[in-house]
């Protein structure tokens, strides 16, 4: 697919899977908005990496659940690069506890970022992405594996899947695909935080491929949906090494 002149915005693009997505899309020739919530220095580092490879990127900050802040983020990317073709919404938080024990303040935090944030970003994307573009949200393989302790997180991602699949139908006739990627266990700070070595090893062995996913594995799936995968629409794509 010819990506010359194409523009992407990656929320949560300053680290983990988001940073890998930024670098992969930039390698494909996209100009990329690198969104961050708090850590400008990390986002600037990703922008510098892209520039070092001859690409174009811009750091843009804001709370994904804040409509004025995200309007400004979308405005900044369009002003800098002349439009918008792909929005990848990797921003999310994961707070784990059994349902009976979860602090409801943690539930509210995940709702704000994972549900409201995805809705705000999807809404802006639906209004702005050009024909031939793509909107890619993020779910989780735990929606199927149903591990104890993930109830509130999975509930937030089930909501993401629901709004993603409906948006794909709402954009009929616009030539814009809308999909969600559902990673399995992936070696990021978000996944590794709070897990001991035995737990990490057990989860790595759960997939038939016998390892944790890497951010670059997920970025490859995103690059396919953003570019050549034009006939994949209204789907949840599981990128998990064969985990059930």
CATH topology of domain 7-186+215-238: Rossmann fold (3.40.50)
Three-state DSSP class for residue 95: coil
Lowest mean pLDDT: which of 27-36, 157-166, 200-209, 234-243? 200-209
Please tell me the predicted confidence (pLDDT) of residue 88. Answer: 98
Q: Which residues contact 186 (CB under 8 A, 6 or more apart)?
A: 17, 212, 213, 214, 215, 217, 218
Please tell me the predicted confidence (pLDDT) of residue 32. Answer: 98
> Could you tell me the two tokens for 116?
């409201």
Instruction: Identify the active-site residue in 30, 36, 150, 153.
Output: 153
| Nearest-angstrom CA–CA distance, 25 and 15 | 15
CB atoms within 10 A of CB 110: 21
CB atoms within 10 A of CB 200: 15
| Nearest-angstrom CA–CA distance, 138 and 136 | 7
Q: Where are the domains of the chain?
A: 7-186+215-238
> Could you tell me the two tokens for 156?
């937030």
| Nearest-angstrom CA–CA distance, 18 and 186 | 12
Please tell me the predicted confidence (pLDDT) of residue 73. Answer: 98
The strand pairing partners of 36, in sequence order, are 61
pTM: 0.95
| Residue 184: alpha-carbon gap to chain centroid | 13
Active site residue 153: yes
> Could you tell me the two tokens for 145?
């594996």
Please tell me the predicted confidence (pLDDT) of residue 239. Answer: 97
Q: What is the pLDDT of residues 66-114, one digit of tens each?
A: 999 999 999 999 999 999 999 999 999 999 999 999 999 999 999 999 9
Cβ atoms of 50 and 57 within 8 Å: the answer is yes
**Distances from the Cα of 28 to the Cαs of 40, 69, 101, in angstroms?**
24, 28, 45
Q: What is the pLDDT of residues 159-170, one digit of tens each?
A: 999 999 999 999
């Amino acid at each position: 697919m010819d990506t010359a002149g194409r523009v992407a915005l990656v929320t949560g693009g300053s680290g983990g899977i988001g940073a890998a997505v930024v670098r992969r899309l930039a390698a494909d020739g996209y100009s990329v908005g690198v969104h961050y919530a708090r850590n400008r220095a990390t986002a600037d580092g990703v922008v510098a990496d892209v520039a070092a490879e001859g690409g174009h990127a811009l750091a843009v900050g804001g709370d994904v659940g804040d409509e004025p802040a995200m309007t400004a983020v979308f405005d900044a990317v369009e002003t800098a690069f002349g439009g918008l073709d792909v929005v990848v919404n990797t921003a999310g938080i994961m707070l784990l506890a059994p349902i009976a024990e979860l602090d409801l303040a943690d539930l509210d935090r995940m709702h704000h970022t994972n549900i409201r944030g995805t809705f705000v970003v999807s809404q802006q994307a639906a209004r702005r992405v050009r024909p031939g573009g793509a909107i890619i949200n993020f779910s989780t393989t735990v929606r199927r594996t149903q591990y104890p302790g993930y109830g509130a997180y999975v509930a937030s991602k089930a909501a993401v899947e629901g709004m993603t699949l409906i948006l794909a139908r709402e954009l009929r006739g616009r030539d814009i695909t809308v999909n969600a990627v559902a990673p399995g266990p992936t070696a990021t700070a978000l996944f590794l935080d709070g897990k001991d070595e035995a737990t990490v090893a057990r989860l790595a062995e759960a997939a038939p491929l016998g390892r944790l996913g890497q951010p670059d594995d997920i970025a490859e799936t995103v690059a396919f949906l953003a570019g050549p995968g034009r006939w994949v629409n209204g789907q949840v794509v599981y990128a998990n090494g064969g985990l059930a």
